[in-house]
């Protein structure tokens, strides 16, 4: 989807978080999709404004934010990482499956 690409490359966006879920039944544009895989991403700060380009024309790295310390690499603003990411754990990649509901039968006696 092109709109996600432009949001990801938006000049001021510097955070992204995504999640995925499988929905047993999901209504999409009036149709019910069985076992639909639902993938969502949030971006911050938001951008992707209609009619605007993700970057301004100009000299490369001429408007790098102060928090980047003026660093430029391959004509893009660049910031050395100042933190050490936590080691990945199984909990970070846990996949939950939707529970299958129990079948409850209702029996009617004929009269």
> What confidence tens digit (pLDDT) does each residue in 46-88 have?
888 888 888 878 898 888 878 777 788 898 888 777 667 778 7
What single string gives the DSSP state of each residue in 3-65? Answer: HHHHHHT-TT--EEEEEEEEEEEEEETTEEEEEEEEEEEEEES----TT--SS--SSTTTT--
The CATH number of domain 2-80 is 3.20.20.70: no
Give the domain ranges of the chain. Answer: 2-80
Task: Give residue-wise pLDDT tens across range 8-43.
Answer: 888 888 788 888 888 888 898 999 989 888 888 888
Whole-structure pTM value: 0.50
């Amino acid at each position: 989807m092109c709109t996600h690409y432009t949001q990801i490359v938006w000049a001021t966006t510097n955070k992204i978080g995504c999640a995925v879920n499988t929905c047993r039944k999901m209504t999409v544009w009036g149709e019910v999709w069985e076992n639909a895989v639902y993938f969502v991403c949030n971006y911050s700060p938001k951008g992707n404004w209609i009619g605007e380009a993700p970057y301004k024309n100009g000299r490369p790295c001429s408007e790098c934010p102060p928090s980047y310390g003026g660093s430029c690499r391959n004509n893009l603003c660049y910031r050395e990482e100042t933190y050490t990411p936590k080691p990945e754990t199984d909990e970070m990649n846990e996949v939950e499956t939707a529970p299958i509901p129990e079948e409850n039968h209702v029996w009617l006696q004929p009269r």
